[in-house]
Amino acid sequence: MRKLLLLISAILVGLVFIARLFYLQVYSGSTYDLFEDSAILKEYTYPKRGYVYDRNGKLLVANQPSYDVMVIPREVKPLDSTDLHEFCKLLNITPEAYQRKLTRATNYSPRLPSPFVPQLSKSDYAVLQEKMRKYEGFYIQKRSLRSYQTTIGANVLGDIGEVNRSIIRKQPYYKLGDLIGKQGVEKTYETTLRGVKGIKFIQKDRFNKNIGPYKNGVFDTLPKPGKDITITIDSQLQAYGELLMKNKRGGIVAIEPGSGEILAMVSGPSYNPNLLVGRNRSKNFTKLYRDSIAKPLFDRGLQAMYPPGSPFKTLNALIALQENVVSTADRFTCNMGYRYGNRIMGCHAHKSPVNMNIGIYESCNAYFANVYRRIIDKYDSPAKGMDIWSNHIKSFGLGDFLGNDLSVGQPGKVPSAETYNRGYGKNKWYTTFTISNAIGQGEVLATPIQLANMAAAIGNRGYYYTPHIIKHIEEDTIPAAYTTPKYTTIEKKHFDPVVQGMFDVYNKGTAKMLQVKGIEICGKTGTAENFAIIDSVKTQLTDHSIFVAFAPKDNPKIAIAVFVENGYFGSRFAGRMASLMIEQYIRGEITRPDMENFVLRYSLEHEYEKPYSNAPFGINRQTTLEPIDEDEFQESLRIKAEITKS
Amino acid sequence: MLRQNQRRFKFDWFTIILFLLLVGFGYVNILSASHIGEITSYFDTSQLYGKHLIFIGLTFLLIILILSFEAKFYERFASIIYLIAILALIGLFVFGKDVNGARSWYGIGSMTIQPSEFAKFATALAVAKYISDLQTNMQTLKDQIRVAAIIFIPAILILLQNDAGSTIVYLAFFFVFYREGLQQIYLVSALSLIALAVLTLKFGILISVVATTTALITRYFLRKKKRASIFQYLLVLIVSILFSYGVKLFYDHGLKTHQQNRISLWLRLEKDPVKLELMKKREAYNLIQSEQAISSGGWTGKGFLEGTRTTGKFVPEQHTDYIFSTVGEEWGFLGSSIVVILFITLIIRILYLSESQKSQFSRVYGYGVASIFFIHFTINTGMVMGLIPTVGIPLPFFSYGGSGLWGFTILLFIFIKLDSNKINEW
C-alpha cells in the first residue's frame, strides 16, 4: 500500500489532466476561425462603390468621402494648453467637450478605436490632416458614403446603411460597421455595386499593438472595385412624374414596351434620397418608417395591390376573341347595367346595344359581363372555364411576381377554380358568382407595375419583356431573362380590335378630354371602389383613379399605368397624369398646360385626412377639389421649368 | 575499456530517452513562445531560445560530469552538498539580486543563478542519507522531527526570499516519508486537514464544524471494536475547530491580497459580479489568456510557430511558467496529452526503478526525485489549465531558464547514476 500512493496519485493526475485538456480543447472549443481570433487584427480596405447612371448617362449616385477623427485613448499623450487649444479649435469643439469625449471613449475601451469627431467637412479635414501627426492617439478614418446627384427617385435608387447582425449571420462577408444596400437598386445590385473589400490580417500582441502581417500576408487580398451600373430610368420623366404626384398618393410605372425597361417608377408621397445619407440616416429613416399614414417607404408602384378596375376589361375582350366566343360585331344591350338573377351590376348612361369597340371605349359593364359569361360557360363546367380564363390572364404577368430586379414587389391576385372551390365548395358555384371579374373588381388584384406591363403586352400585340431596371453593367451583360420576350396566350390578330377600342377611348370615349395633339395614345380609364375601417365600421371612401395607356398606337414607345388613391374617376387625375407623362416622354414638352396646371394645382391631402378627421364626409360626387397655395403652385411651375431645361 | 563500455550501457536508457524527448520538445515550444520577429537561425543567441539552446548544450557537459563520479560519491558527500546548498541560500540575503520581488538569484556577470533550484537535489540527497542510516526509524518522533528539519531549513529560507511557489515543492518529501514508514495517521490527518481547510474557506466555519462533528460521531458509532475514548474524540474536535479558525484567520490576515484573490477565484468565493470581474482582470489575466490559448488549439493545434496567441505574446511568462499553454495552442489535444503521458511515464519509471534498488539510499533518493517531478508537474500544469490556484513554479525540462534545467537534470542524473550502480550493490 505504501508503495502505491505516489503511483496511484500520478496515474490519477494524468487522467484528470487529459480529461481537462479534452474538455478545454475538444469539448468546449469550437472549430478555429481566423476571423474570430482576437489575436489577429483584420484590416479592411473598402473599394469604391459603383456609380449609378440613368438611361441617358446622367450621373445619379456617386460617392463622397467622409472623414472621422478616431481616438485610441491609451495612446493619447496629454496635450499642453496651447496644443489642446489649437486642437480643439481645429475640431470645432470646446476643451470641456474634448475631455468629455475622451472620457467616454476610454470608458468604452482604452485599447480599441472610437469615433472622436465623426464626419468632418472637407475643409476641416484639409487643415487638420497637416497637423494630425502632432496629436498622438488620434487618426483620421476615411469612409465612403453615397452622394446623390439628384433629389428624386428615392424609391428607385434606395440607400445603403449599416448591416445588422442577422445579415452578418447569414452572409459572413459582412462585418459589423459595413454598409449594405437596404432598398432599391442599392439592394438588388448590392454585390455588383459594392465590389469586394480587401483584407489584411495583422498579428497583434497582448497590448493590441501590430507586430507584423499574419503568416507574411498569404491570406491578404486586394480590394476589387464595384462596377458602375446604368439603370433604365429616364431621370427627367421620373422627376416629372414625382412632381405630378406631389400632394397625392399613388404610383406611376412607365415601361418601354419594346424592351421592358422601366422608364419611371413613381411612388407618392416620396422623399429626398439625401435624407438617408450619413449621420442623420437613422434619425430620418425612423421618421419615414414611423409614418404609418402616408407610408413614404411603401412603394405604391410596386407594392400596392389594387383592384385593377376597368382597364382589366381589355383582357377579357382579348380572351373572348381568342376563345372565339364573340366576334367584334356581336352586340349586347345595356340598360343601365347587367341583370342576373335578381341582381344588377350597374353601368352608366351610354348608347345601346354595344359591340366590342363601343364596349371598350364606353367601358360598358353589361357588355363585359356578357362576354365574361360566354368565356367561362364555353366549357362543361365553370371550373374548367375559370382555369382557362385564369391562365390567359396570368400570361400577361398578372397574379405573380414578375421576376424582375426590383427590391420589393407583390404578386397581386388572379383567381382560379381553386379559389372558388375553396370559398364555396367544389362545384358549388356558378359563373355569376364570379361576375365581378368581368370588370376587374371581384377577386382580381394587381400592382401598378403589373398594369403597366399589361399595357405593354397589349401595345406589343401579344408579348412583353420582363420589366427591369438594369440597362447596363460595367464589363458585364444583363441577364438573358430580361431580353427574351414572353408571349401571352392570345394570338396577335386579336389585338387590333382591342387596341382600336383603347384608341377610341381617347377619340370618343371616357378619355376624350385628355387628347394630346399629334400623339396617338391608346388608353383605358378605371375607377375602383375602396373601403376603410373607420371606428370599426367599413366605410366607403372616394374611388381610386386609375389609368392605363400606351403610345403611340403602333410601335409604342411607352406603356404606363397611373394609380391615384382616392382621385375619383379615372380620367380626373390618373388619366391627366398619364397623358402628361406620355407627352413629356415622347415630345419632351407639354402642349396641354391646362391639364398640367390642374394636376399641379389640386391636392388630394384633404381626401386622405377624411378617415382621420372624425368629421362626417362625403365621397365621389360630393368630393371637392382643393387648390394648393399660390406660392407652392408657382414653386411647382419653377421645378417643372427646371426639369424641362435639363 | 571494455568494462567501462559495459557499465555505461547499464544506464537506464528508457529514462534518458524520456528526458531527451522532454528537453527537445521543451526547446521547440520555448522557440515558439520566445522568438521576437523573424527566426533567422535556431542558434541566434541574442534571443531567449538561442540562450536556452546554450543551456541545453551545457546540460550535456553537466550530465557527463555527474555520470563520471563514482556512485558512492553522492551518498558519501550528501551532507556536504546539502550544507553548501543551505549556505548558498543564506548567502542570498547578503549577495542576492531582486527579480520580480523575489530575492532568489545570484548575479554573475550577465548570468543569473537560482540556488533554490539546486537546493532540491541537495535536500533529496540529505533526506536519503538520513533515512538510509541504520539508526533511523521513521516511526519514531525523534527521527520524524529531524528529517522534517532537513526539509524545513531550505523551505523556510526560500519562503523568506519571497518565493512561496518553490517552498511548496518541499511538500513532495511527504511521499518519501510515507513510503519509508511514516504512520498512516499522518496521511489521514494531512488529507483531513486539507479537506477541512477547503471546507472552511468555501462554506465557512460553522458548516465545517458541523461536518467535522458529524464525521466524528459516525466514526465513533461505526467503530465498535478498539474504540478510542470519548475524550480523544473531543480533543480531535477541538483541534479541528481551532484549525478552522486558524485557516480563516490566516486567509484573512496572513495572506497577501493577490494570494487571497487567487484562492478566492479558485474556490469561486466572490459572488459580486463587479468585484469578480475586477479580481479576474487583476489576478486571473494570465490564467484566462492561458486557458484561451490552450482551448484554441483544438484536436491537433495550430502547428509549430502558427499559434496566434503565442506569436502575439498574449500569455505573459509563456516561455517560463506558462510554457504548457504553447503546447496546448500549437500542438492541440494530441500534443498536450503526449506531454502529460511523457511526464507520468517518467515518474512511474523512476518509481519502478526506485523500488528495484538494493540500497535504501538509492531508493529513498529515487523516491524523492519522482515526488519532486510529480509536484512540479501537477502544480504547474494544473495551474496553466486552470485546475489549481496560481503558484509560480516551472515545468521541469520545459520552462525556459538555466538554473531550472540544470537543477532538474542533476536531480535526475544522479539517480540514473545510482541506478546504474545497483549491480555492484551486494
Chain B interface, best mutation among A5, A17, A42, A208, by max B CB count within 10 A: A17
Grid coordinates in use for A62?
456617386
Asked whether residue B12 is domain-assigned, the answer is yes
Q: What are phi and psi of A520, to 5 degrees?
A: -85, 105
> Is A16 strand, coil or helix?
helix
Q: Do residue A3 and residue B179 have CB atoms under 8 angstroms apart?
A: yes
CA distance A14 to chain B (A): 6
**Residue B135: pLDDT band with limits 50, 70, 90:** confident
Question: Is residue A565 scored above 70 in pLDDT?
Answer: yes
Nearest CA in chain B to A216: B38
Higher-scoring residue by pLDDT: A114, B248: B248
Q: Do residue B308 and residue A40 have CB atoms under 8 angstroms apart?
A: yes
Average pLDDT value for chain B: 88
CA distance B319 to chain A (A): 15
Q: Which residues contact A192 (CB under 8 A, 6 or more apart)?
A: A50, A226, A227, A229, A473, A476
Question: What are the pLDDT digits (tens) for B45-82?
Answer: 888 888 999 999 999 999 999 999 988 999 999 999 99
Contacting B residues, span 346-375, partner chain A, CB-CB under 8 Å: 347-348, 351, 355, 367, 370-371, 374
Question: Percentage of residues in chain A with pLDDT exceeding 70?
Answer: 97
Nearest CA in chain A to B301: A25
Chain A interface, best mutation among B333, B351, B352, by max A CB count within 10 A: B333
Chain B interface, best mutation among A6, A33, A219, by max B CB count within 10 A: A6
Question: Is residue A646 scored above 70 in pLDDT?
Answer: no
Tell me the mean pLDDT in the region A74-79.
78
Q: Which residues contact A31 (CB under 8 A, 6 or more apart)?
A: B298
Same domain as B93, residue B194: no
Helices (H), B108-140: 115-132
**Residue A114: pLDDT band with limits 50, 70, 90:** confident
Tell me the mean pLDDT in the region A525-548.
88
Question: What are the pLDDT digits (tens) for B365-418?
Answer: 999 999 999 999 999 999 999 898 888 899 999 999 889 999 999 999 999 999
Contacting B residues, span 379-408, partner chain A, CB-CB under 8 Å: 381-382, 385-387
| CA-wise closest residue to B315 among B385, B365, B266, B211 | B385
What is the identity of the amino acid at B59? Answer: T
Same domain as B155, residue B208: no
Asked whether residue B111 is domain-assigned, the answer is yes
| Final residue before a domain boundary, out of B254, B273, B295 | B254
Residues of chain B with Cβ-Cβ distance to A22 below 8 Å are 333
Q: Does A111 touch chain B (CB under 8 A)?
A: no
| Final residue before a domain boundary, out of B238, B254, B270 | B254
Question: What are the pLDDT digits (tens) for B282-312?
Answer: 777 888 888 888 988 888 888 888 888 888 7
Q: Do residue A6 and residue B347 have CB atoms under 8 angstroms apart?
A: yes
pLDDT at A283: 84
Q: Do residue B187 and residue A5 have CB atoms under 8 angstroms apart?
A: yes
Q: Does A28 touch chain B (CB under 8 A)?
A: yes
ipTM score here? 0.92
**Residue B148: pLDDT band with limits 50, 70, 90:** very high
Residues of chain B with Cβ-Cβ distance to A14 below 8 Å are 340-341, 343-344
Helices (H), A343-381: 356-361, 365-377
Q: Any idea what DSSP says for residue A19?
A: H
**Residue A199: pLDDT band with limits 50, 70, 90:** confident
Contacting A residues, span 583-622, partner chain B, CB-CB under 8 Å: none
Higher-scoring residue by pLDDT: B335, A624: B335
Q: How far is CA A204 from CA A111, B82, B288, in A?
A: 12, 47, 17
**Residue B8: pLDDT band with limits 50, 70, 90:** very low
Strand partners, A582: none
Residues of chain A with Cβ-Cβ distance to B355 below 8 Å are 3
A39-48, A607-616, B389-398: segment of lowest average pLDDT = A39-48
Residues of chain B with Cβ-Cβ distance to A215 below 8 Å are 306
Residues of chain A with Cβ-Cβ distance to B296 below 8 Å are 29, 32, 37
Question: Is residue B1 scored above 70 in pLDDT?
Answer: no
> Is A145 strand, coil or helix?
strand
Contacting A residues, span 193-212, partner chain B, CB-CB under 8 Å: 203-206, 211-212
Tell me the mean pLDDT in the region A385-391.
94
CA distance A140 to chain B (A): 26
pLDDT at A498: 94
Residues of chain B with Cβ-Cβ distance to A19 below 8 Å are none
Question: Is residue A176 scored above 70 in pLDDT?
Answer: no
Question: What are the pLDDT digits (tens) for A138-149?
Answer: 877 777 888 999
Nearest CA in chain B to A212: B37
Question: Is residue A14 scored above 90 in pLDDT?
Answer: yes
Same domain as B175, residue B231: no
Nearest CA in chain A to B181: A2
Task: State in Å, rounded, how far the first CA of chain B is from the last one.
Answer: 23
pLDDT at A29: 64
Tell me the mean pLDDT in the region A81-94.
86
Q: Does A109 touch chain B (CB under 8 A)?
A: no
DSSP codes joined into one string, A501-514 = HHHHHHHTSTTGGG
Question: Is residue B355 scored above 60 in pLDDT?
Answer: yes
Q: Does B281 touch chain A (CB under 8 A)?
A: no
pLDDT at A125: 84
Same domain as B218, residue B178: no
Q: Do residue A25 and residue B312 have CB atoms under 8 angstroms apart?
A: no
Higher-scoring residue by pLDDT: A316, B99: A316
Nearest CA in chain A to B179: A2
Write down how long chain B is.
Answer: 426
Strand partners, A44: A199
**Residue B136: pLDDT band with limits 50, 70, 90:** confident
Asked whether residue B7 is domain-assigned, the answer is yes
Nearest CA in chain B to A203: B312
pLDDT at B2: 46
Tell me the mean pLDDT in the region A448-452.
95
Tell me the mean pLDDT in the region A360-387.
92
Q: Do residue A26 and residue B178 have CB atoms under 8 angstroms apart?
A: no
Higher-scoring residue by pLDDT: B65, A646: B65
pLDDT at A112: 66
Q: Does B138 touch chain A (CB under 8 A)?
A: no
Residues of chain A with Cβ-Cβ distance to B385 below 8 Å are 17, 20-21, 24
Question: What are the pLDDT digits (tens) for B190-217?
Answer: 899 999 999 999 888 899 999 999 988 8
Query: Side by side, which strands form the sheet with A198-204?
Result: A40-45, A198-204, A210-213
Nearest CA in chain B to A213: B37
Contacting A residues, span 212-251, partner chain B, CB-CB under 8 Å: 212, 214-215
Q: Do residue A206 and residue B311 have CB atoms under 8 angstroms apart?
A: no
pLDDT at A531: 86
Q: Does B326 touch chain A (CB under 8 A)?
A: no
Asked whether residue B265 is domain-assigned, the answer is no
What is the identity of the amino acid at A243? Answer: L
Tell me the mean pLDDT in the region A379-389.
91
Asked whether residue B140 is domain-assigned, the answer is yes
Q: Do residue A25 and residue B297 have CB atoms under 8 angstroms apart?
A: yes
Contacting B residues, span 19-78, partner chain A, CB-CB under 8 Å: 37
Tell me the mean pLDDT in the region B122-138.
92
Same domain as B174, residue B152: yes
Higher-scoring residue by pLDDT: A527, A208: A527
In terms of residue numbers, what domain contains B193?
Answer: 187-254
pLDDT at B425: 57
Q: Which residues contact A268 (CB under 8 A, 6 or more apart)?
A: A242, A245, A246, A248, A249, A250, A251, A300
Asked whether residue B26 is domain-assigned, the answer is yes
Q: Does A627 touch chain B (CB under 8 A)?
A: no
Q: Do residue B311 and residue A14 have CB atoms under 8 angstroms apart?
A: no
Strand partners, A66: A143
Domains along the sequence of chain A with CATH? 40-130+137-231 (3.90.1310.10), 235-285+302-645 (3.40.710.10)
A91-100, A211-220, A234-243, B28-37: segment of lowest average pLDDT = A211-220
Same domain as B34, residue B168: yes
Asked whether residue B267 is domain-assigned, the answer is no
Strand partners, A196: A224
**Residue A30: pLDDT band with limits 50, 70, 90:** low
Q: Do residue A18 and residue B295 have CB atoms under 8 angstroms apart?
A: no
Same domain as B299, residue B157: yes
Tell me the mean pLDDT in the region B136-150.
91
pLDDT at A323: 94
Closest residue to B328, CB basis, from A10, A25, A212: A25
Total domains in chain B come to 2
Residues of chain B with Cβ-Cβ distance to A9 below 8 Å are 175, 374
Look up cell 536531480; give the residue: B411
Look up cell 468604452; give the residue: A108
Q: Does A517 touch chain B (CB under 8 A)?
A: no
Question: What are the pLDDT digits (tens) for A124-143?
Answer: 788 888 888 788 778 777 77
Neighbour-count burial of A329, counting CB atoms closer than 10 A to its CB (0-12 exposed, 13-18 middle, 19+ buried):
exposed
Nearest CA in chain A to B373: A10
Same domain as B201, residue B177: no
Same domain as B161, residue B35: yes
Closest residue to A32, CB basis, from B298, B348, B385: B298
Nearest CA in chain A to B382: A17
Average pLDDT value for chain A: 89
Asked whether residue B261 is domain-assigned, the answer is no
Same domain as B245, residue B121: no
Same domain as B192, residue B169: no
Q: Do residue A28 and residue B296 have CB atoms under 8 angstroms apart?
A: no
Question: What are the pLDDT digits (tens) for B31-50?
Answer: 999 887 777 777 788 888 88
Q: Do residue B308 and residue A21 have CB atoms under 8 angstroms apart?
A: no
Tally C-beta pairs within 8 A across A and B: 110
Q: Do residue B367 and residue A6 have CB atoms under 8 angstroms apart?
A: yes
pLDDT at A525: 92
Tell me the mean pLDDT in the region A413-434.
89
Same domain as B172, residue B124: yes
Alpha-carbon distance B89 to B111, whole Å? 17
Question: Is residue B145 scored above 90 in pLDDT?
Answer: yes
